[in-house]
Amino acid sequence: MNLFIDTNVLLSFFHLSSDDLEELHKLTVLIEQGDVTLWLPKQVYDEFKRNRENKLSDSMRRLSEQKKKPQFPQVCKDYDEYEEIRELQEQFGKKLSSLIDKVTYDVSERTLKADEKISELFDKAEFIETSDELFTKAKRRVHIGNPPGKNGSFGDAINWEALLDNVPDKEDLYVVADDKDYYSLLNEQSPKDFLLDEWGTNKNSEAFFYRRLSQFFKEHYPDIKLASELEKELAIRSLTESCSFADTHLAIANLSSYLEYTQAQVSEIVVAALTNSQINWIICDSDVQRFFSALVESHGELMKEDDREEIISELQRCEPKGAEDA
């Protein structure tokens, strides 16, 4: 089985728990056993190295923001609970500082669990150098407008040409990529017809696309389950299929515990907010408004422009109520 994992999916490993990463270790075992061949273009390797710091910097920033102390009105200082809370805050601050120091050290030393598991995968993968010939092919692809790729960027084109050149003929390809450059404008869950046709014509085989690694595992290796991602998927499904206001509030409460979402997950959530009346009609309820406002702020760049503008417009009509509540 020929497998390609795009850079954005590899970077998402930093959001997985230790248990999930242990499950991911099974992929390395499958590679060692010869069940899976993981193709690793140098372009992906370099992109991962370049963007690792950015991804972890954002995570560390969010962790550091937890240091912010809540403000109390002067009148609270006359109560015993105030002193108890202050003592708990001090303990929290010390523990958080210790945690930040340890995580910062592991980040700098590249000893995070995710670094370990990704290194395992890279060591077992079939490495593809970016030759001058490969770059020329990718450049031509971009210039004539063939997917994947956008705005003069050669990265995705290099990866695709690398796979076309190196995966053996008559062998299927399985692509895991949460990147709109690979997917249809008509249905973002389906790959571009051009890529399917090109692969079939050139390789005499089929190409299969997955937006999440958990989807690939579920179909081909159901014993490999990414626990936190599965829980998140179920929470998103509960929201998108909400049949009552109570269901919506419960789903929002469950989703509020997650800080990171993939592009596909963000799209599902936003589309649900715009099309499901059981969500849209109560979008100004404090918990629902707070969740979607935070989603726009943290993941707005992953949203389609029209969806982002529409959800912002929906939230803006809540402002008078928010001001009154405040």
Confidence label for 271 from pLDDT (cuts 50, 70 and 90)? very high
Q: Which of 81-90, 158-167, 191-200 has the lowest mean pLDDT?
A: 81-90
What would you measure as the largest C-alpha separation in the chain, in angstroms? 78
Is the pLDDT at 151 greater than 90? The verdict is no
Between the two ends of the chain, the Cα-to-Cα distance in Å is 57
Cβ partners under 8 Å of residue 81, min gap 6: none
Supply angle C-alpha 50, 48, 105, rounded to 5.
Answer: 75
pLDDT at site 326:
38
| Residue scoring higher pLDDT (322 or 185) | 185
Alpha carbons 7 and 43: distance in angstroms, whole number: 9
State pLDDT tens for residues 172-231.
999 999 888 898 888 877 899 999 999 999 999 999 999 988 889 989 988 888 888 888
The mean pLDDT of 89-114, rounded to a whole number, is 90
Query: Predicted confidence band at 71 (pLDDT cuts at 50, 70, 90)?
Result: confident
Separation between Cα atoms, residue 36 and residue 29, nearest integer Å: 9
Q: Can you tell me the mean pLDDT for 102-131?
A: 92
Give the pairing of strands 173-176 and 126-128: unpaired
3 residue type, one letter: L
Lowest mean pLDDT among 5-9, 64-68, 71-75: 64-68
Domain map (residue ranges) of the chain:
2-61+112-220, 227-325
Dihedrals phi, psi of 173, to nearest 5 degrees: -120, 140
Burial of 13 (0-12, 13-18, 19+ CB in 10 A): buried
Q: Is the peptide bond before 148 cis (omega within 30 degrees of 0)?
A: yes
Q: Cα(99)–Cα(124) distance, rounded to whole angstroms?
A: 32
Average pLDDT over residues 312-326: 69
Instruction: Report the amino acid identity of residue 193.
Output: D
pLDDT value at 24 more than 90: no
**278 or 319: which leads in pLDDT:** 278
CATH class of 2-61+112-220: alpha beta
Tokens of 221: 């290796």
Instruction: Report the number of secondary-structure helices (H) and strands (E) in the chain.
Output: 16, 5
Bridge partners of residue 38, in order along the sequence: 3
What is the model's pLDDT at position 324?
A: 43
pLDDT band at 321 (very low <50, low <70, confident <90, very high): very low
C-alpha to C-alpha distance for 155 and 42, rounded to whole angstroms:
10
Mean pLDDT (the chain) is 90
**Is pLDDT above 50 for 325?**
no
From 59-73, 92-106, 163-177, the region with the lowest mean pLDDT: 59-73
Map residue 209 onto helix, strand or coil.
Answer: strand
pLDDT at site 20: 87
Residue 18 has pLDDT above 50, yes or no: yes
Residues 60 and 107 sit within 8 Å (Cβ to Cβ):
yes
Q: Which residues, other chains included, contact 14 with Cβ-Cβ below 8 Å and sequence gap of 6+? A: 52, 55, 56, 59, 112, 114
Per-residue model confidence (pLDDT) at position 117: 92
Confidence of residue 322 (pLDDT cuts 50, 70, 90): very low
Q: Give residue-wise pLDDT tens across range 285-310.
A: 999 999 999 999 999 999 999 999 99
Q: Cα–Cα distance between 254 and 236 in angstroms, integer?
A: 9
Which of 137, 215, 138 lies closest to 174 in space, CA to CA?
Answer: 215
Instruction: Using pLDDT thresholds of 50, 70 and 90, give the confidence band for residue 64.
Output: confident
Helix (H, G, I), strand (E, B) or coil at 5: strand
pLDDT at residue 32 above 80?
A: yes
Q: What is the DSSP letter of 181?
A: G
Q: Residue 3: beta bridge partners?
A: 38, 174
